[in-house]
Structure 1
Amino acid sequence: MDRRATAAAPTMLAVVDMGSNSFRLEVGRVEGNQIYRLDTVRETLRLGAGIDAKGNLTPQARRDALACLSRFGERLRGFDGANVRAVATNTFRVARNAAAFLPRAEAALGFPIDVIAGHEEARLIYLGVAHVLPPGDAPRLVVDIGGGSTEFIVGRGMAPERLESLKLGCVTMTARFFADGTLSKRAFEAAETHAQVEVEAIAREFSRRHWKEAYASSGTALALADILEQNGFSAGGITPDGLARLRKRMIAAGHARHLKLAGLKAERVPVLAGGFAVMAAAIEELDVPRIDPVGGAMRLGVLYDLLGRREHRDSREATVESFIDRYRVDRPHAERVAALARELHRQAATRTDAAVARRVAWAALLHEVGYTVSHLGFHKHGAYILGNADMPGFSRQEQQSLALLVLGCRGGLDKVAGALADAGVRAQLLALRLAVLFHHARQPIDAPRIRIRAGRAPAIDAPARWLRAHPLTAHLLAKERDEWRKAGWPWRTAG
């Protein structure tokens, strides 16, 4: 027998990076704890320039995005959903109609799309860069200039220590300061001054005293490094002197269409000036003598993060643990609530979904983080924290889902009424609210098994004898039943 024929097929992972300058699809093969990149598809859309005066993605920008995602979707046919992650960055963070457009984008791609916050983008960038750099303990600065934002990270080894994201990108800066292609001294001064003001706000946290090595990832950095080296402006890496010589050449050209530089690719010409201004400002404000280009970046970071989730090294679990500690959550109580919520959700849900089950458990573990603000309305404070805090590993949608569950874990249902039409959300809220209710005394429950019989009008099975012995719980359960009835989703008790 051919042993190769019986060997298990290698695991394939894929990431879709929906950036403000380009959309990229990357496929990697997993071998042990390493990922080997097999295939990369890149399409330059400049989505960041497709936002109108009202802050909406234009119809043309949406059409271009859908067409690209449809092509990517064809390449991804046959992939297990657990092995694919699509992430959208700054343009989807700022466009007013992004949320309405997202379902169409997901349908075109065939997979869910996570809109990630700037700090999460920075974390993933560092994770990708750290996997291509030699191991070492020296603190590193990583700067990643994207189409709509620039991320700054200081870290050691595989661990980021400082993360920041600024709304400075090669596409948006070009559109603002070099819209007609004119490359004048005045335009560069205005662009670099604007970028310097933004970077100055974080300069103290990212100054040279915090790092020993400096790296820059993604397209702008790689393009600048190639141009500086191939034109003799720098002996290696990106330096202040090299950038000064390049600036002089660009101003002499007068217009982007007249730029003739060795190493400058045609697709980079339209956004070079904006990216240059951000890099020059970063080097100036952070006092960087030389910054070296490096591969990796966010796509590789997403692939390794995805691999970690598959192998039970989910960064979201670490975040939940850190929040439990940071917000001084009563862990034994939270774990009891989470255990019952998981079980009740398993019974109430119409279909099994491991990701949703984890979400219910995480919401239960974190439902009291708002106590650090105030006991009164703690669920409202907790919802605000979970919806707005930096939560490494979580997408914006995941954070909003957690916030919704915590907001609705007690009190009136009117504050989450808009979400109740979704049967899945109803099941999650019902399970969490009942778990919180039955643990109101903050002690282990001595009751026999509590069950939910699923259906449009669910039934809650709780032993009548036990309820008679626990009149407060029975009273709270009756009030909970009335709350759901008023919301238009009645259920009954049995036992």
Structure 2
Amino acid sequence: MASNPADPITNSANLVAAVDLGSNSFRMLVAQAINTPSGTQLRPIDTLRESVRLAAGLTENKLLGNDAYQRGLIAIRRFGERIRGFDPANVRAVATNTLRVAKNAQQFVADAEEALGFPIEVIAGVEEARLIYIGAAHEVPAVQGNRLVIDIGGGSTEFIIGKGYEPKLMESLYIGCVSHSLSFFPKGNIDTHAFKEAELAARREIQVISGAYLKSGWNQVIGSSGTARALADLIANNNFNGLGDGLTMGRVNGASGLITREGLKNLKKHLLKYEHVNQVELIGLKDDRRSVWPGGLAIMLAAFDELGIEEMEVTDAALRSGVLYDLLGRSQHHDMRYVTVEQFMQRYTVDREQADRVSKLATEFLQQLPKPESESRADNVALLQWAANLHEIGLSISHNGYHKHSAYIAGNADMPGFSKNDQARLAALLIGHTGKLGKLANNHSFEDWRMLFCLRLAQVLCRGRNDTNFPKVKVSEHDGSYLVSLSKEWAAKHPLTEFSLLKEAAEWDRIGRSYQVSFK
């Protein structure tokens, strides 16, 4: 019987959705995953876009103002209705630069999660760059050698060089079309001096990375995101490329448009005829882009000049596409977080045998504990194992207080695949895996006590760093109280471990959490 070359997933429960909470726009992509002999492809079936202008709502004190706050929640509630009933494993929502810097981002994310009905990850700039590249690489034709992808967002711009589907160089710079427009074209005013200053400011930022990028080189340049799309459309609609309207309105080599150096210069020349953005007359200029495209144009010109770009193909694929492909990768056991942990273990010369001992034992303890309905056991097992694998990375810096160094690295390093919340949870487990517990008892946002119990117990039992004479240990938990049971005879032969377990119980009691050790 002949096989079907494409097997679409038609069950609505298996649809996948990506939510991108950007600094200018909130977007959602719903797609079908189609399995082909060459791999999985995404078939978009629905898209939503809301111009929220979140970055424009930041106050001088880096707080989200009430208007922007409410605009965001209203948009997210609409998104939530569209994906109501989706399998949580098939939805991933990410937030970018504005929610990385806003001081009240934590409260906004909590309100937004309630409105959406799904968790929201605030991702780091480099993680955003990785996902952008994945999305673009899957949607444009293959090219021999490297490709450069540039994504100008509302609050940041990502530069990525990769080969095939793998990003190699990734940078996220704090220049975006919204923030740049607010800084250099306040209240929409335009003049030649301000535009020159906007270009120079962007060039200064790009100069920091240009050397490494030029050294790597590329054979193709791709622009993704709304800014690149908007600039390509303005250039095409107004014939600023000087190549005729038809060329850039269609698809060029599989990409959805073209931006040339000449087109950008002509667009700039036209813009500077006016004194205010509301006066600008251009075919295809959308109202929701009117106030922010001058900043985007300045950044794009700076990128072309600093990196010596002559033309750029444009694709509609962006962060949300990358989020979906990464989500599919996780379901197919290609989770980038495992790769990142492996790289960190190599970089910090982790004792793998010890990490494996602690990981296996901690996982065994967690599996003995009852599973609350709200817990994602698979996710928590993965996080616990990553914590065990990385708990000693701080030893590469100093033995004294090494757990503090481990936590700092996990909380602040670029960790592809990990969200900010992932890193925060991981860092908390690392800072708490040994020593005093008071530092976490005062952290009201810390909720991973059961995993910390398992990790600390495994670390105590594995102190000898060998595989011999492990006792049979049973653990249980009831209403936040823990019980550890093991052989009285074994404990008598291992007085240091017995002492350490009793000391551990006293430490938990000190923060008001019952912990008993039973020797039978």
Instruction: Pick the TM interval, shorter chain.
Output: over 0.9
Which deviates the most, 126-135 or 253-262? 253-262
| Number of the residue aligned with 2:364 | 343
Q: Is the contact between residue 17 and residue 86 of structure 1 (CA under 8 Å) also seen in structure 2?
A: yes
| Number of the residue aligned with 2:464 | 441
Deviation at 1:85, TM superposition (A): 0.5
| Number of the residue aligned with 2:512 | 488
| Number of the residue aligned with 1:42 | 49
| Number of the residue aligned with 2:25 | 22
| Number of the residue aligned with 2:184 | 177
Q: TM-score, normalised by structure 1?
A: 0.96
Aligned equivalents of 2:234 and 2:11: distance in 1?
45
Structure 1's unaligned 5+ residue stretches are: none
| Number of the residue aligned with 2:493 | 469
Matches within 5 A, 1:275-290: 275-290=296-311
RMSD of aligned Cα (Å): 1.7
Structure 2's unaligned 5+ residue stretches are: 1-6, 244-257
Q: Deviations over 1:229-274 (max 9, x none)?
A: 2222115622222212111111102221111112322222111101
SS at match of 1:227: helix
Q: Is the contact between residue 350 and residue 454 of structure 1 (CA under 8 Å) also seen in structure 2?
A: no
| Number of the residue aligned with 2:482 | 458
Q: Deviations over 1:90-139 (max 9, x none)?
A: 00001011112221111111111000000000000000000012123321
Which deviates the most, 226-235 or 361-370? 226-235
SS at match of 1:411: coil
Q: Is the contact between residue 13 and residue 85 of structure 2 (CA under 8 Å) also seen in structure 1?
A: no
Aligned equivalents of 1:288 and 1:391: distance in 2?
29
Aligned partner (choices 286, 290, 295) of residue 265 of structure 1: 286
| Number of the residue aligned with 1:404 | 428
Matches within 5 A, 1:158-169: 158-169=165-176
| Number of the residue aligned with 1:233 | 240
Q: Deviations over 1:48-104 (max 9, x none)?
A: 000111110011111111111111111111101111010000000010111122211
Matches within 5 A, 1:94-109: 94-109=101-116
Aligned equivalents of 1:395 and 1:254: distance in 2?
42
Deviation at 1:348, TM superposition (A): 3.4
Matches within 5 A, 1:229-378: 229-235=236-242, 237-348=258-369, 350-351=371-372, 353-378=377-402
Aligned equivalents of 1:248 and 1:7: distance in 2?
50
Q: Deviations over 1:295-326 (max 9, x none)?
A: 21111000000001111111111111111111
Q: Is the contact between residue 347 and residue 454 of structure 1 (CA under 8 Å) also seen in structure 2?
A: no
Change in CA separation of 1:213 and 1:136 when aligned onto 2, cut-off 3 Å: closer
Q: Is the contact between residue 14 and residue 87 of structure 2 (CA under 8 Å) also seen in structure 1?
A: no
Q: Deviations over 1:356-408 (max 9, x none)?
A: 12111110111111111112211111100000111110000100100000110
Q: Is the contact between residue 144 and residue 221 of structure 1 (CA under 8 Å) also seen in structure 2?
A: yes
Q: Deviations over 1:152-188 (max 9, x none)?
A: 0011111111000011111111111112212211110
Q: Is the contact between residue 349 and residue 427 of structure 1 (CA under 8 Å) also seen in structure 2?
A: no
| Number of the residue aligned with 1:381 | 405
Amino acid at match of 1:314: D
Which deviates the most, 237-246 or 95-104? 237-246
Aligned partner (choices 396, 417, 431) of residue 393 of structure 1: 417
Aligned equivalents of 1:10 and 1:485: distance in 2?
45
SS at match of 2:273: helix
Q: Is the contact between residue 419 and residue 425 of structure 1 (CA under 8 Å) also seen in structure 2?
A: no
Aligned partner (choices 430, 440, 446) of residue 416 of structure 1: 440
| Number of the residue aligned with 1:13 | 16
Aligned equivalents of 1:177 and 1:349: distance in 2?
57
SS at match of 1:39: strand
Q: Is the contact between residue 22 and residue 44 of structure 1 (CA under 8 Å) also seen in structure 2?
A: yes
Q: Is the contact between residue 344 and residue 452 of structure 1 (CA under 8 Å) also seen in structure 2?
A: yes
Percentage of pairs with the same residue: 44
Amino acid at match of 2:144: D
Q: Is the contact between residue 207 and residue 286 of structure 1 (CA under 8 Å) also seen in structure 2?
A: yes
Count matched residues: 490
Amino acid at match of 2:439: K
Is 1:78 the counterpart of 2:85? The answer is yes
Matches within 5 A, 1:201-212: 201-207=208-214, 210-212=217-219
